[in-house]
Chains A and B, each alone.
Chain A
Amino acid sequence: MRSRARALTLVAGLMVLGLVPVVAALANQPFYLDLFRRIMIFAIAAVGLDLILGFGGMVSFGHAAYLGIGAYAVAIPAFYGIHSGLVQWTLAMALSGLAALAIGAVSLRTSGVSFIMITLAFAQMLYYLGISINAWGADDGMRLARRSQFGGVVDLTNGYVFYYVVFGVLVALLALGHRLVHARFGVVIRAAKSNEPRMRAIGFSTFRYKLAAFVIAGAVGGLAGALLTNQTEYLTPSYMHWTRSGDIMVMVILGGMGTLYGPVLGAVVFLLLEDLLSAWTVHWQVVLGPLLVLVVLYARRGLWSLLPGAIARDG
């Protein structure tokens, strides 16, 4: 059974991610804890991007903007002595969602290359805003004095606890995403990508649904940004740089656009490659480039579609 094989692939994949801390502890290699936590944080951002890029056909080239807003939403309150994770993370999602609402309201009136360029332009504007604000570190960024606090219940300074918090966020996101793409909302988003004139003819004003998807993807990106500053214990405007947007997009394409789990696989492959190869050469993307070309040519639904049982459409 294909659906059975797919479920097994998925469970195996999640088990691998869930067991990384155990292996890292046994092998006494805490570095892997750090690496895979980082991978999962980018996976969260990539899954969010894929909701609009893969499922909705909206090629947003500015997704790092939300990552950056989320990071600032943690670092700035922390700078002024507010360390509550509840406040910071809520702020991260709310502000990045709001930014997505504004950016989406403008850019979704265009399509094709204009859409790509407008989303890119907004992200770069925020990037330059970030590097110009001296009070908050300008282009040097600033250190995060303390990781987000959760009233002593959840202690993120413990790397293992932090790992499972990120893991939990990722699993919850995938579960919610699975419901969403099959619910009415997800069907509208996918159909609007498939045939917009038809959608209008049968009576759908697709704009509001696309905008809502854009906001959801932005908020998810903001949450990933909040996790990322906690991961690095550092804030830098470079989180918003357009190359970062490109990285997240490559993760989605590599793993499988329009699939729910593909972007997770894409983040794993991308960041593992970066880690392994950059030990050899700073030009590690010399390997990534051809790999991406091969995937785009021969596996249009990404690496995920090559795994046993993974069918593209239902992700």
Chain B
Amino acid sequence: MAEPLLAVRGLTMRFGGLVATDGVDLDVAEGETLAIIGPNGAGKTTLIGQLSGDLAPDAGTIRFAGEDVTGLPGPTRSQRGLARSFQITSIFPEFTALDNVALAVQAHAGHSFRFWTPARAERALREPARATLERVGLGARADVVAGTLAHGEQRQLEIAMALATRPRLLLLDEPVAGMGADESQRMVQLLRALRGRHTIVLVEHDMDVVFALADRISVMVYGRVIASGAPEAIRANAEVRRAYLGEEIPA
């Protein structure tokens, strides 16, 4: 078997006395969608932070596309093809939606020590950005100032910015957080369209979303992965049911 796209070994992170991730092992194969679930405080967001390079792990290694990226800073990992979305919407609120995505394209289109040509006149930035907005269903909202978009639309914009970097792996931190039922459904549709064409690591609380999207599920509790496997196997796993008090996972 070929080396997985993402291979995590023994990833550990402590905040003072608190162990946020405790020897996490994960493998994600190319093209696969892995969902990471677990109760609040299980260390899921910390894990995403370590994978994206925002947090430096205390121990463990992260191999991505066959190379050790453990010591690389976030921007370099993005250049290697790792893209993330944030649990709390993180966009450039005073820029238009199209400007937001064009900026993500710009980050991967050579250096930005260009002082003369208006960035908005660069077709090499605007056209891929517009195409990506269309892809996430925001084509008609391109010229709206991002901060005035509806919450669900801002979440879509997050996905568009991640996609515009042409990533090999998408790290999605609770993409439907704070969404209403309609918005949430639209997001699931969007993510389903990405499935298979992109490798995805998805952290999510909403079990309907997880079971609709995941090829595989890993369950984290108190910083450890207690179970990994196909959705049906996880659904049937007694330890997992106990961690969730047997309530949140529909039988």
B-contacting residues of A (Cβ < 8 Å)? 176, 179-180, 182-188, 191, 194-195, 197-205, 209, 212, 313
CB interface residues, B 71-93, toward A, < 8 Å: 73-76, 78-79, 83-84, 86, 90-93
Nearest CB to that of B147 among chain A residues? Answer: A194
List of A residues within 8 angstroms of B116 by Cβ: 179-180, 183
Nearest CB to that of A209 among chain B residues? Answer: B112
Q: How distant is the Cα of A191 from the Cα of B114 in the complex, in angstroms?
A: 15
Is A203 a contact partner of B79 (Cβ separation < 8 A)? yes
Pick the contact of B120: A182, A194, A199, A203 (CB < 8 A).
A182
List the one stretch of B28-36, B102-110, B217-225 in contact with chain A.
B102-110
Is B92 a contact partner of A184 (Cβ separation < 8 A)? no
Pick the contact of B93: A194, A199, A202 (CB < 8 A).
A194
Is B90 a contact partner of A195 (Cβ separation < 8 A)? yes
List of B residues within 8 angstroms of A184 by Cβ: 106, 112-114, 117, 119, 122
Is A180 a contact partner of B115 (Cβ separation < 8 A)? yes
B199 to chain A, nearest CB (A): 17
Is B106 a contact partner of A187 (Cβ separation < 8 A)? yes
Closest 5 CB pairs of A and B: A203-B78, A203-B107, A184-B112, A184-B114, A202-B104
Classify chain B's interface size. 35 or more
Pick the contact of B92: A179, A195, A212 (CB < 8 A).
A195
B176 to chain A, nearest CB (A): 19
List of A residues within 8 angstroms of B79 by Cβ: 203
Is B83 a contact partner of A201 (Cβ separation < 8 A)? yes
Nearest CB to that of A189 among chain B residues? Answer: B112
Q: How distant is the Cα of A209 from the Cα of B111 in the complex, in angstroms?
A: 10
Is B119 a contact partner of A200 (Cβ separation < 8 A)? no
B80 to chain A, nearest CB (A): 9
Is B90 a contact partner of A197 (Cβ separation < 8 A)? yes
B36 to chain A, nearest CB (A): 18
Nearest CB to that of B74 among chain A residues? Answer: A200
Is B113 a contact partner of A185 (Cβ separation < 8 A)? yes
B56 to chain A, nearest CB (A): 13
A44 to chain B, nearest CB (A): 18
Q: How distant is the Cα of A190 from the Cα of B119 in the complex, in angstroms?
A: 13
Query: Does B95 sit within 8 A of A, measured CB to CB?
Result: yes
B119 to chain A, nearest CB (A): 5
Query: Does B208 sit within 8 A of A, measured CB to CB?
Result: no
Nearest CB to that of B92 among chain A residues? Answer: A194
B126 to chain A, nearest CB (A): 12
Is B52 a contact partner of A201 (Cβ separation < 8 A)? yes
Q: How distant is the Cα of A57 from the Cα of B199 in the complex, in angstroms?
A: 36
A-B contact pairs, 8 of them (CB 8 A): A179-B118, A185-B112, A194-B92, A195-B92, A200-B53, A200-B78, A201-B54, A202-B78
Q: How distant is the Cα of A202 from the Cα of B53 in the complex, in angstroms?
A: 12
Nearest CB to that of B90 among chain A residues? Answer: A198
With contacts A179-B115, A183-B119, A184-B106 known, is A201 near B93, CB below 8 A? no
Nearest CB to that of A216 among chain B residues? Answer: B115
Max chain B CB contacts within 10 Å: which of A182, A187, A199, A205? A187
Q: How distant is the Cα of A194 from the Cα of B99 in the complex, in angstroms?
A: 13
List of B residues within 8 angstroms of A194 by Cβ: 92-95
Is A191 a contact partner of B92 (Cβ separation < 8 A)? yes
Is B54 a contact partner of A197 (Cβ separation < 8 A)? yes
Pick the contact of A182: B83, B104, B118 (CB < 8 A).
B118
Pick the contact of B103: A176, A180, A191, A212 (CB < 8 A).
A191
Q: How distant is the Cα of A195 from the Cα of B92 in the complex, in angstroms?
A: 6
Nearest CB to that of A194 among chain B residues? Answer: B92
